[in-house]
């Protein structure tokens, strides 16, 4: 039980206590702006539909008066036909209104999803290293759909019910103000519980949204190939099942409680409405017998009363629905309000043409803390970790002239990959500058940097798409001949030709249908196809065996010809021919020179070299 409570506290997130804000309503209006014309038509038709709904009871009362007063049969028939015509018109209007509400709602989903997706793509890598994928996906699915309900369902009900309520009151007062006044005395029974119910349901729905996000995260991680492998190797399936069941059980409890609250509320209001109808028949019948009211008016009042309390009931429960929809909007806006740390300047430039030099000028860097790049609700914690800002790169300066190959070596965690990420502007430096052809990368456009700098990492990622799609990610207009040429140079063409669907073969999630070496060669082929002017190889051949490493290294040497390159390698045999080797330790350059010079110096490089090749004679 204690573990369960802790799980629930962790899953509920920090935003449960966030109060409702009118600023959210105003922001909703900005998303509704593009659909203004449809919303206006939707509201106008809803008003007409509400008017038809009120007119029908009045005509029914006239039919009763005609029957009681023994009027001509054709008058009663005409009234009946008019009632039928109104029913047909109301049905047609209902179809049109539903079509408009569906268009508005789906358009809103499209706008919100596109806005969130585009915004998330602009977030820095630090955001993705902290955020739980399932929680983020939940914002794009569950919360966006919840927000859409505000327009597709709630708006329709609120507008038509308000209009119907006003028209009904006007007509009822015209028939008998005394009976109308007595009916309105029960109004507080609708309003007060509605407000209290709204506050309770908001908290329930926020907790349900957080728990659904947590379940999505667990499923996303455990159902992936590496996640499933990890659970089978080291995990505890029973514990995983218990954790998931705890969240799912809580969601089920919340669903039952929410449904029960709303049902009790609506049932109570319906009971009050029925009692009010009984009052109208009793009091109205008394007035009719006394000759103070026509029988048809009594019937009209009874029918109108349903038109009065039905919208009152809907509006009272609409408060619950509106608050729930606003919770979804708030969760979506929470993502949109998280500012990307890396942005293009309004006057961002392109990397100058020609061969590119790479320069780091007295660079210092610390990874940003969680509060700058993430949200507690996306990490499923109550409070974000404020630790951070500890410097990992200390006053590093280096320069790679056009066409030079600069190798970075050193212990794991020394800062080599961080330097590579700064060059590609996956992060921005805290002080100093990173320059491409003499221009600070912060003054360059992201698109220009992507076209200029290509990187192959140790764990080259592939999408669950075809080989062609994964390759052309770097070169959209590449022809088949160019694709096959890149595969040939990556020593992968024979394998692809042997596959039943060749370039249209789906590689599986993260490329797990291929071996580790095949995945890595495919990412190298992608780099060869992109033909960037600056190449960064971060342990690019680490997953290859000796035979494939030699073959791919030959292809990489061809790809690096005439290009500026930063090569990170633990296998020192792969970087002997580099123009200059930099030894990085604790975020500092401790040695630099050629392979021969560093061996002769007898420092850290020579130590690393002997560790790897202690059975071989040192040159």
Q: Which residues pair with 534 in a beta bridge?
A: 453, 564
Q: What pLDDT, on the 0 to 100 scale, is given for residue 186?
A: 64
Q: How far apart are CA 144 and CA 336, in angstroms?
A: 12
Alpha-carbon span 600 to 581, nearest angstrom: 13
Q: What is the pLDDT of residue 567?
A: 87
- pTM for the full predicted model: 0.65
Token pair listed for 234: 């080291």
Angle between helices 295-336 and 237-289 (to 10 degrees): 150
Domain ranges of the chain: 2-336, 358-612
pLDDT of residue 366: 86
Q: Helical H runs in 176-291?
A: 177-184, 187-222, 225-234, 237-289
What is the pLDDT, as a whole number, of residue 617?
Answer: 46
Sign of the alpha-carbon dihedral angle for 71, 75, 77, 79:
negative
* Spans of the chain, pLDDT less than 50: 1-19, 615-619
Query: How many beta carbons lie within 10 A of that of residue 305, not counting itself?
Result: 25
Return all residues near 185 (Cβ < 8 A) that are at least 6 apart. Answer: none
Q: Mention the CATH class of domain 2-336.
A: mainly alpha
What pLDDT, on the 0 to 100 scale, is given for residue 427? 85
Spell out the residues 6+ positions from residue 126 whose beta carbon is closer than 8 angstroms to its own: 341, 367, 368, 372, 373, 374, 427
Return the SS3 of 549.
Answer: helix
Closest by alpha carbon to 568, among 453, 408, 412? 408
Q: What are the residues whose beta carbons fall under 8 Å from the beta carbon of 365, sequence distance 6 or more?
A: 391, 392, 393, 418, 422, 427, 429, 430
At 127-167, the pLDDT tens digits run 777 777 777 777 777 777 776 666 666 666 677 778 777 88
Overall fold of domain 358-612: Rossmann fold (3.40.50)
> What is the spatial distance between Cα 479 and Cα 389, in angstroms, rounded to a whole number?
46
Q: Give me the sheet containing 391-400, strands edge to edge.
A: 391-400, 358-366, 431-436, 439-440
Tokens 């040939």 — which residue? Answer: 488
- Angle among Cα 292, 297, 302 to the nearest 5 degrees reads 120
* β 405-410/580-585 pair status: parallel
Q: What is the pLDDT of residues 378-404, one digit of tens each?
A: 776 666 666 666 788 888 888 888 888
Q: Which backbone phi and psi does 384 adopt, to 5 degrees?
A: -70, 145
pLDDT for res 7:
39
């Amino acid at each position: 039980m204690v573990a369960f409570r802790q799980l629930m506290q962790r899953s509920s997130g920090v935003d449960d206590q966030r109060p409702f804000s009118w600023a959210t309503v105003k922001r909703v209006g900005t998303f509704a702006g593009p659909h203004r014309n449809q919303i206006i038509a939707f509201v106008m038709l809803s008003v007409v539909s509400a008017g038809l709904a009120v007119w029908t009871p009045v005509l029914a009362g006239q039919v009763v008066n005609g029957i009681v007063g023994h009027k001509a049969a054709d008058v009663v028939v005409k009234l009946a036909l008019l009632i039928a015509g109104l029913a047909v018109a109301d049905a047609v209007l209902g179809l049109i209104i539903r079509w408009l509400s569906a268009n508005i709602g789906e358009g809103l989903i499209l706008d919100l999803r596109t806005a969130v997706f585009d915004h998330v793509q602009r977030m820095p890598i630090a955001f993705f290293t902290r955020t739980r994928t399932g929680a983020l996906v939940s914002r794009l699915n569950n919360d966006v759909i919840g927000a859409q309900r505000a327009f597709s369902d709630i708006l329709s009900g609120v507008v038509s019910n308000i209009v119907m309520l006003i028209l009904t009151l006007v007509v009822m007062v015209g028939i008998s103000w005394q009976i109308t006044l007595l009916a309105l005395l029960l109004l507080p029974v609708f309003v007060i519980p509605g407000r209290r119910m709204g506050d309770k349901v908001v908290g329930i729905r926020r907790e349900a949204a957080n728990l659904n996000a947590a379940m999505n995260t667990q499923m996303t991680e455990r159902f992936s190939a590496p996640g499933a492998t990890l659970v089978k190797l080291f995990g505890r399936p029973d514990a995983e099942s218990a954790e998931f069941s705890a969240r799912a059980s809580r969601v089920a409890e919340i669903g039952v409680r929410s449904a029960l609250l709303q049902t009790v509320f609506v049932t109570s209001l319906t009971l009050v409405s029925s009692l009010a109808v009984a009052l109208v028949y009793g009091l109205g019948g008394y007035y009719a017998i006394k000759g103070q009211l026509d029988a048809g008016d009594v019937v009209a009042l009874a029918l109108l009363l349903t038109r009065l309390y039905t919208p009152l009931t809907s509006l009272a429960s609409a408060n619950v629905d509106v608050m729930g929809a606003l919770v979804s909007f708030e969760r979506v806006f929470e993502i949109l309000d998280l500012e990307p740390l890396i942005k293009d300047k309004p006057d961002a430039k392109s990397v100058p043409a020609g061969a590119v030099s790479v320069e780091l000028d007295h660079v210092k860097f610390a990874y940003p803390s969680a509060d700058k790049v993430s949200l507690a609700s996306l990490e499923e914690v109550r409070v974000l970790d404020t630790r951070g800002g500890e410097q990992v790169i200390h006053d590093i300066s280096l320069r790679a002239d056009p066409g030079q190959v600069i190798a970075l070596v050193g212990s794991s965690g020394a800062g080599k990959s961080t330097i590579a990420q700064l060059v590609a502007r996956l992060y921005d430096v805290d002080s100093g500058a990173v320059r491409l052809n003499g221009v600070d990368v912060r003054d360059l456009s992201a698109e220009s940097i992507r076209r200029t700098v290509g990187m192959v990492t140790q764990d080259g990622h592939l999408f669950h798409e075809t080989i062609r799609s994964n390759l052309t990610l770097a070169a959209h207009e590449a022809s088949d001949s160019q694709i096959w040429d890149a595969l040939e140079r990556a020593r992968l063409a024979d394998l692809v030709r042997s596959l039943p669907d060749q370039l249209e073969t789906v590689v599986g999630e993260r490329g797990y249908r291929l071996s580790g070496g095949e995945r890595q060669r495919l990412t190298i082929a992608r780099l060869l196809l992109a033909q960037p002017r600056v190449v960064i190889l971060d342990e690019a051949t680490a997953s290859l065996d000796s035979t494939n490493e030699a073959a791919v290294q030959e292809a990489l040497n061809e790809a690096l010809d005439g290009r500026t390159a930063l090569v990170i390698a633990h296998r020192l045999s792969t970087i002997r021919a580099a123009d200059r080797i930099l030894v990085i330790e604790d975020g500092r350059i401790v040695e630099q020179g050629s392979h021969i010079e560093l061996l002769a110096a007898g420092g850290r490089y020579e130590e690393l070299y002997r560790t790897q090749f202690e059975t071989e004679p040192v040159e």
